[in-house]
Amino acid sequence: KCHEEMSSPLYFGWFLFFTVQDEVRETSTNFLKSLEGLESFQKHISDFSGKEEKADLDQYFKAKGTLHCTTKFTNYGKAEGAKEYTAKQIVQELYGSVSELSLSALFITPRTIGARVALSEEQLKLWPDDAEKEAESVVPGASALPLGSRGHVTLGCVEGVEAVQTGYDLLQILVLQKNGEQGEAEEIDAGTLTYYGEGRWYLSLKEPISAAASFSSAYK
């Protein structure tokens, strides 16, 4: 029984080193602060508060624990493809290995806040073939996006919202971008900030954040 549980975790992913987690959380807080200071953001504040008043974004999103980028949600072996993924040679081989995750963008929606991860060729070897396809029923168009598009770190969620929503929110923004949606873009210190309507804000970082992480699994 014990051995069985050990080989079927809740999920596999890259777990950010603790010192890096602090840095990323600080960057995320600063992002929210700078958003709140923008006239363009205040113009659309009702997306978040439902009212025309200041929303405290830092209070709005609740942290979800250890920062990580999920590769495969295996749900203790119950998720589709869980056993196949766990048994993959590359998964076994790279288990415990350390690599640098490149965080290329930050985004918020009225539900979630996250960082987009630009996966390297090497990291993509650990990416499930169906990660984007699986989201198609929730985010139409997701399955046509390049492999790895769903790669992200959940930084926080509104109370009552599950972490899985962060990946859906990212994919939805990427589908809009792919469809040529321009949104309302402006340059800020950290990079190009774009508003895509319905409370969706996407900051493409001028300088991606390099985050050391180890590929491992969590049992919760």
Sequence-separated (6 or more) residues with CB below 8 Å from residue 183: 176, 194, 195, 196, 197, 202
Active site residue 3: no
Phi then psi dihedrals of residue 212, to 5 deg: -70, 135
**Interface mask toward ligand A2P for 65-94; x: CB under 6 A:** -----x--x---------------------
Q: Which residues pair with 217 in a beta bridge?
A: 12
- The residues pairing with 216 across neighbouring beta strands, listed in sequence order, are 13
Member of 162, 181, 184, 198 binding ligand A2P (CB under 6 A): 162
CA geometry: angle at 140 spanning 178 and 195, to 5°?
50
Q: Which residues contact 146 (CB under 8 A, 6 or more apart)?
A: 132
Residue 210: CB minimum distance to ligand A2P, A: 20
Q: Which residue has the tokens 């590359």?
A: 90
Kindly tell me which residue out of 8, 11, 74, 94 binds ligand A2P, with binding defined by CB under 6 A. 11
At its nearest, how many Å lie between ligand A2P and the CB of residue 167?
A: 5
The residue range among 101-109, 159-167, 182-190, 201-209 that interacts with ligand A2P, by the rule CB under 6 A, is: 159-167
User: How far apart are CB 164 and ligand A2P at their closest, in Å?
Assistant: 4
Strand extents, DSSP E, the chain: 11-16, 68-73, 98-108, 112-118, 152-157, 184-188, 191-195, 201-218
> And the tokens for 100?
């640098």
Candidates 21, 27, 86, 154: give the one binding ligand A2P (CB under 6 A): 154
Location of structure tokens 């072996």: 77
Binding segment for ligand A2P among 17-25, 83-91, 164-172, 174-182 (CB under 6 A)?
A: 164-172
Among 35, 167, 193, 194, binds ligand A2P (CB under 6 A): 167
Q: Which residue is catalytic, options 48, 61, 68, 69? A: 68
From 30-38, 115-123, 161-169, 208-216, give the range in contact with ligand A2P by CB under 6 A. Answer: 161-169
The answer to whether residue 152 is catalytic is yes
DSSP state letter for 162: -
Tell me which residues are annotated as active site.
68, 152
Applying CB under 6 A, which residues contact ligand A2P? 10-11, 70, 73, 154, 162-164, 166-167
